[in-house]
Amino acid sequence: MLIIEDLKTRKRSWAHGRNRRHPGWKPRPVAPGLIVMKFGEQLRSSIIREYQWYYIDYDGLKDELKRRSGSATTPDDSTRSSKISRREWSEDDESRFVGKLETELEKVHTKQQVKAMEISRRITVSEREVRDVVNRLNERGPGEEGPSEEEFMLLEEDLSDIIADVHDLAKFVQLNYTGFYKIIKKHDKMTGWHLRPVFDTRLKARPFYRENYDASVVKLSKLYDLVRTRGNPVKGDSAAGGSQGSFIRHTTKYWVHPDNVTELKLIILKHLPVLVFNASKEFDMQDTAITSIYYDNPDTFPLYEGRLKKTEGAEAIRLRWYGGMQTETIFVERKTHREDWTGEKSVKARFALKEKFVNAFLRGDLLPAAVFEKARKEGKKSEKAIAEDERLAAEVQWTVLKKGYKPVCRSFYHRTAFQLPADARVRISLDTELTMIREDNLDGVKRSGDNWRRMDIGIDYPFSQLPPGDIVRFPYAVLEVKLQTQLGQEPPEWVRQLISSHLVEAVPKFSKFIHGTATLFPHLINLLPYWMPQMDVDIRKPATHDFGIQRAGHSATNSTSDDEDDDDSDDEQLAPTGRNGESSTQGASSRSGGPQQPATDVEGQTAERGSADDVYLYDSDSEDDEDRLEDARRVGGWTYFQTLVATTAGAVARGTWTVLKAIVPHPQATPVPRNERLQGLLGSGEIQQKRFKAPKGKKIYVPVRVEPKVYFAAERTFLGWLEYSIYIGTIAVTLLNFSTRNGDVTSFVAAAAFTFLAVLSLLYSVGIYLYRSNAIRTRRAAKYYDKWGPTALCAAMFVAVVLNFASEGRSRHIW
């Protein structure tokens, strides 16, 4: 749930978010503890001194909406209680408001253009100064002194100041862009006049919000790296980043809100340079585009389900290219998931193929031997490498033809990668403008047709020509942090600070293929990934520690809300093939505005945030009784009767158990004081909990890790129960066969009691074993601990022994 705090009255209220992305979702709250300002308050608290006279006059525009010069209207029955009659919004009012809006737009656009040109000139000047200092360092003779440390420090301070300027300009643009759309929304709601379509056209003529500063980030990254390394940047192969298959790599994925993307780039570039494939080429946004076509069987989606469940040997097949549609080199990739217990690592392998040969290859007309015939003649690759690629091509071709895989989903994004050349210990990539697009022909619409990809789109984001049903624009950027983890190596402190900061939201095992397939085919996919409920949660968070780019005397920006208006790698290794044609853009450095406090790693952060006060539960392993009954009713017959009995019995059992729990005294949990972090965010008020539920007929799959020893543990538990059942049966046989009195009813009753207990124990152990084995095989998040079985067994044993002892004492006339 979302805590909304009115900074004027200091009152808090609860608000629920609405899902607009997936049909069938019920309203769900956003993350607990997020204090959200109204936009007017946030605008006033976020003003940067340099820009204070150039922000949108949000309050002035709101006042214009309240000034109505039209004739008064008589209240109708629904508003008869109102004492003040409303005036109609006239054409003169609209002209006055639009005129003021145009003035504000021109003011903001002009300031953005002037500041952007100033930053560009400063970068050019700094580039000249850095080049001069580095040249003096490289050209000094023997015995000559080079540039002093002070010169490098001054250059670093100057670049840090430029970085802070880029950050401030990005925040200025983002805040004003939000302000314009909020005031337009308020205008349309209050007046009934629809200004949004017209204003969209005016914004396109004054696109102050279109600048993503990637070109500036790349230049700043190169300059800052030169200065940081004192003119000796790390050299190496920028294309492959070293032998990526020679070490164990740990990969974690995060979501980044668009408001934090530029700041995140600027923070990272202070520590890692932008990885650029061709440093001599001018930056081109097209070079950062990456497009992938994912294949699957559109009837059953086996690849989707395998990747979602992370089953052993699950594959993903995709065709990827870098840059625009004119790119000739297409990479055919296969990702294979391996469970840790196998001792193998998940692998991503690929081979290059000319675009003109892709259709023939996928149809089986072009055999793998012919694909690599030219490579063998040229001799640029070893025979072993060519043989491996040919084997991979043969396996992919056979799988596609045998299992009927077709193009189903396309993912497009712009990637900014940060890494030291030839040093893959830390690699960070940030994917922005992520979009998933349908490639299938399932509904009779010819998209890709007989071609391996659709040709009516390219890299022209946001693909406005596509119908809404064909496209999903992901609302966040995706940050991927890859760390070398061999020999227990710890990640750098700045990485720990970054992944535990308010700028990112951890989403382990997030997959573009899985998300795209689940959202583009809602009527065919019934098993949803675990992060689906989180799509309705505002991932912006207040700063938990002093981390980011700040200027002295400036308030940190706060989250905004509409409430005022009432594949990826997945821990997989890439076979070292060299990325021909890939050029990564990249980004920037930052200066923290204060001492940095030590931060926990992502596991510690998750454990702290996931306290007993704000835990989210998922309905992943069972549907509602109502849904089960509805499905059974369609089948009819014995299935419906059986389901009806089961659901009714379950409801009665749950009701009885609830009553018994309320009546029977039981131990109460000791209340634990709220930790300092939650106390600071939420205060001492009660925190409500929300249970997420999937839409009707669908389930949310929660990843469950299963290893062979889990099966063995279930077997050992069953054998343990079986052993005790045999012991109890032995006692029964002893009582029955070794009684000294013939026709002794007491001994026979005691033996019968122990026999019944042994049989009951045996049946219980078999039932528990079958339940656990089925849950393990289906990877359900079931409860594997036995809460009642051992207690019931001990109690029954105690009662049987006491009764036997009492019976024997009575028969011996002891009492």
In 534-571, which positions are buried (b, 16+ CB within 10 angstroms) versus exposed (e)? bbbbbbbbeebbebbbbeeebeebbbbbebbeebbbbb
Q: Which residue spans within 498-644 are E strands per DSSP?
A: 505-506, 527-529, 573-574, 617-618
User: Could you tell me which residues come within 8 angstroms of residue 10 by beta carbon, excluding any fewer than 6 positions away?
Assistant: none
Contact between 728 and 702 under an 8 Å Cβ cutoff? The reply is no
Angle in degrees, CA 351, 274, 556, rounded to 5: 130
Q: What is the 3-state secondary structure (H, E, C) of 100-143?
A: HHHHHHHHHHHHHHHHHHHHHHHHHHHHHHHHHHHHHHHHCCCC
CB neighbours of residue 111 within 10 Å: 20
Q: What is the 3-state secondary structure (H, E, C) of 469-500?
A: HHEEECCCEEEEEEEECHHHCCCCHHHHHHHC
Angle in degrees, CA 174, 175, 179, rounded to 5: 115
Task: Classify 589 as helix, strand or coil.
Answer: strand
Q: Take residue 105 and report the two structure tokens written for it.
A: 């737009």
Catalytic, out of 512, 690, 698, 787:
512
Q: What is the C-alpha separation between 512 and 253, in angstroms, rounded?
A: 11
In 632-657, which positions are buried (b, 16+ CB within 10 angstroms) versus exposed (e)? beeeeeeeeeebeeebeeeeeeeeee
Q: What is the 3-state secondary structure (H, E, C) of 262-291?
A: HHHHHHHCCCCCECCCCCCCCCCHHHHEEE
Question: Would residue 512 show up in a list of annotated catalytic residues for this protein?
Answer: yes
Contact between 175 and 43 under an 8 Å Cβ cutoff? The reply is yes
Q: Is the peptide bond before 462 cis (omega within 30 degrees of 0)?
A: yes
CA 775 to centroid of chain Cα atoms: 26
Which residue numbers are catalytic?
512
